[in-house]
Chains A and B, each alone.
Chain A
Amino acid sequence: MKKIIANLTTLATAMVFAFAALAQTKLTIGTVNNSDMVRMQGLVDDFKSKNPGIELVWVTLEENVLRQRVTMDIATKGGQFDVMTIGTYEVPIWSKKGWLVPLAFDAAYDVDDILPAIRSGLTLDGKLYAAPFYGESSMIMYRKDLVAGVNMKMPQQPTWGQVYEIAKAIHEQDNGTYGICLRGKAGWGENGAFITTLSNAFGARWFDEKWKPQFNQPEWRHALSFYVDLMNKYGPPGASSNGFNENLALFNSGKCGMWIDATVAASFVTNPKESKVHDKVDFAQAPCAVTCRGSNWLWAWSLAIPAGSQQSDAAMKFISWATSKAYLELVASKEGWANVPPGTRTSLYKNPQYLNAAPFAQMTLNSINSADPVTGTLKPKPYVGVQFAAIPEFQGLGTSVGQQFSAALTGKVTVQQALENAQRIADRVMRKGGYY
């Protein structure tokens, strides 16, 4: 018996070493399945030829699953990933905890070229903790043919009132086209993000300076009633299960007159291969109401290295490659300028070839530049983030609250009831988290 155990132990140890030996040249990269990342996976030959000896292993997962996996792994120091793709929400929290390696780039990388709004969200105490792969804000995408068809005009930055009128006018004009498509699927990164920007425009905020939830305030009631009313009258059926993707599919098949969502969608809706309406789309900045502050969000999918990674040098090389100016040119040479990952570098928005190929470039840049995560609401707030609050509790809280919003949208509960529930949920979470 003892001998067997001894043998087994030797075997196990041998296997552990074997795995460790394999891992030395292997870089495991956890990433989301968005098309810019998928495109990158097709272009890694360039990286490999420049960095022989580094093998890249991709773990491509759907956003929610990826977030669970990497959070679980970094919090338990599981060491499964050498490079993680994380968002603007995670970076401030994780860097404060010392879970990420500060990134130091050489001069050729030109850190100062990164858009200031994006960069500030990834920086703590003057150190950059994640390099943006692509950045986005939110804006209006609309069918110029339909809007012109009813003799209306979309302003550069309309108010929600104007958006309402336009939605009303173009709704059901063209057979089966709905006035407006907005996110309704529950989730802090789905309807949570969108409705937060909408309510920001109405002057609302998640928490006051003392971290008290604010859903019992009139601003929230106005915002949510407006949203529910607009969607019930001029939105598509099934709006409560529509997230980014579902709306994209609807818009591309010509079912939406207007859509307010991420700026990255612009390159999809203008792509003739994917969109039936690619030549009929125009753009405007996200609508304001009582204020324009916080009316459009800010997000960047960024690459970061978990602290304690055994391969941080190789990881650093990879991140420098994937977020460099040269990478943008590589994508442009293979797939055309319209398909380069947007929203990270100032130089891209000065590049005439890009501006030429991407009719949405200027609007994207304006939107990103106008977003401010720190002072993003009309009334002062204690948290960082436009469409989220960068506190660990927010993922769970934002999703539960998003559930209430989506229930209000389906009419299962009234707006009043949904907000009361949201207030109660938020109060519980904040109390449990020890905020007050």
Chain B
Amino acid sequence: MELRRSDIILSRLAAGPSILLLFVWMVVPLAMTIYFSFLNYNLLEPGMEQWTGLLNYEFFFTDPAFGKALLNTLVMVGMIIILSVILGLLTAVLLNQDFWGRGITRVLAISPFFIMPTVSALLWKNMLMHPVSGFFAWLFDLVNLEPIDWLADFPLGSIIMMITWQWVPFAALILLTSLQSLDESQVEAAKIDGAGPIRMFLYITVPHLMRSVVVVILIESIFLLTIFAEIFVTTGGGPGLETTNIAFLVYSQALLQFDVGGAAAGGVVAVILANIVAVFLMRMIGKNLD
């Protein structure tokens, strides 16, 4: 299609508002954040702001929590994505079979996706994982096992479990849709060729699903990089630093220490990290999306 000059102008005009808005949304707070990151600015000491150069960055990078938080962030994002894709795939395959009450089970299975993160965290922490009166403790009691103290003994694992629960339905939903569009004739052809169910799954279903898996990974990583509510409600980043991720570290600087300068430096670092991940993801995914 030949591009006319008026077309170009038109498309600029059309795309303009949202790009401009996003630009403002991104740039104005970011510029302020960058500016603050060079100040010694504690919210509780207003009027004392001074230029401190890179001091905030130095403190953020030398913070003993920084390395751990970075690691935790990557572990959380990685594990949750892997788990939710695998479990989501299994769920999707299962819900794609023909059985009694399939419609209702689908509705039930996707429900966790609609639950507020805060509510889900409160629910898991108090009613399920509580080592004395939680539901899991009761299950362990039934089989005469010592109840597990989830949030103390497996803090990171518990958080991962909790968030995976929220995202499995999302993965299942997308993969289920994708499964339903699987070309029946291809399947039949493979059947006639004598392919077993496992081979069929590996050579026909999985390649067909790749694009959807990529979409799941992309969307989830966007949300998972900034996980905060679940950690805030359940472990508060602890015990020790076991569940502190970058978002929580920045939070503790901004809203516990009210160290605006330090939090701003942390925010800038997080933005840079996010962009590295984004570039990485786009490289990986770009091929799959065109």
Contact = CB atoms under 8 A, between A and B. Distances in A.
Instruction: Tell whether any CB of A sits under 8 Å from a CB of B in the complex.
Output: yes
Interface of A: 68, 71-72, 75-76, 93, 97, 185-187, 236-241, 246, 249-250, 253, 255, 392-393, 395-397, 399-400, 403-404, 406-407, 409-410, 412-413, 418, 421, 424-425, 428-429, 432-433
Contacts of B42: 392, 433
B256 interface: yes
A13 B125 CA distance: 46
A329 to B, nearest CB: 36
A393 B256 CA distance: 8
Given A238-B151, A255-B132, A432-B59, A403 B258 contact: no
Contacts of A236: 131-132
A93 B46 CA distance: 13
Interface in B56-107: 59, 63-65
Nearest to A238: B131
A410 B239 contact: yes
A409 B155 CA distance: 14
B257 A395 contact: yes
Interface string B95-135: 00000000000000000000000000000010000111100
Contacts of A413: 240
A238 to B, nearest CB: 3
A241 B235 contact: yes
**Interchain residue pairs A-B with the least CB separation, the first 5:** A396-B257, A407-B240, A238-B131, A392-B44, A396-B256
Contacts of B43: 71-72, 75-76
Contacts of B235: 241
13 contacts: A68-B255, A72-B255, A75-B46, A76-B43, A93-B44, A97-B44, A185-B236, A240-B238, A392-B258, A399-B236, A403-B236, A403-B241, A412-B242
A406 B151 contact: no
B219 interface: no
Contacts of A238: 130-132, 149, 151-152
Contact of B239 (A76, A395, A407, A433): A407
A395 to B, nearest CB: 5
Contact of A403 (B130, B234, B238): B238
A300 to B, nearest CB: 20
A428 B259 CA distance: 13
Contacts of B151: 238, 240-241
Given A71-B258, A186-B239, A432-B59, A237 B44 contact: no
Contact of A71 (B44, B130, B147, B252): B44
Interface residues of B, number: 37
Query: From DSSP, what is the main secondary structure of chain B's interface residues?
Result: loop
Nearest to A93: B44
Contacts of B63: 428
B252 A399 contact: yes
B140 to A, nearest CB: 11
A392 B239 CA distance: 24
B237 A403 contact: yes
A433 B48 CA distance: 12
Interface in B238-280: 238-242, 252-253, 255-259, 262
Given A238-B131, A241-B149, A396-B258, 4 more contacts: A71-B44, A392-B258, A403-B241, A410-B239
B45 interface: yes
A395 B236 contact: no
Contacts of B256: 395-396, 399
B153 interface: yes
Contacts, number: 108
Contacts of B147: 237
B109 to A, nearest CB: 29
A190 to B, nearest CB: 9
Given A392-B42, A392-B258, A396-B259, A253 B133 contact: yes
Interface string B132-153: 1100000000000011010111
B136 to A, nearest CB: 11
A409 B151 CA distance: 13
A409 B242 CA distance: 13
Nearest to A432: B59
A185 B155 CA distance: 13
Nearest to A429: B257
B59 A428 contact: yes
A237 to B, nearest CB: 4
A137 B194 CA distance: 78
A399 B240 CA distance: 10
A403 B44 contact: no
Interface string B30-42: 0000000000001
Contact of B64 (A393, A396, A421): A421
A192 to B, nearest CB: 12
A425 B64 contact: yes
A249 B127 CA distance: 13
Nearest to B48: A434
A249 B134 CA distance: 12
Contacts of B125: 241
A417 B148 CA distance: 25
B147 to A, nearest CB: 6
Nearest to B46: A75
A72 B256 CA distance: 10
Contacts of B253: 396
Contacts of A255: 132
A115 to B, nearest CB: 28
B252 A400 contact: yes
Nearest to A71: B258
Give the most central of B130, B132, B147, B240: most A CB within 10 Å: B240
Contacts of A399: 236, 252, 256
Give the most central of A72, A403, A421: most B CB within 10 Å: A403
B260 to A, nearest CB: 9
Contacts of B130: 238, 246
A410 to B, nearest CB: 5
Contact of B238 (A186, A239, A249, A392): A186
Nearest to A245: B126
A252 to B, nearest CB: 11
Contacts of B252: 396, 399-400
A396 B263 CA distance: 12
A111 to B, nearest CB: 28
A296 B64 CA distance: 32
Contacts of B257: 393, 395-397, 429
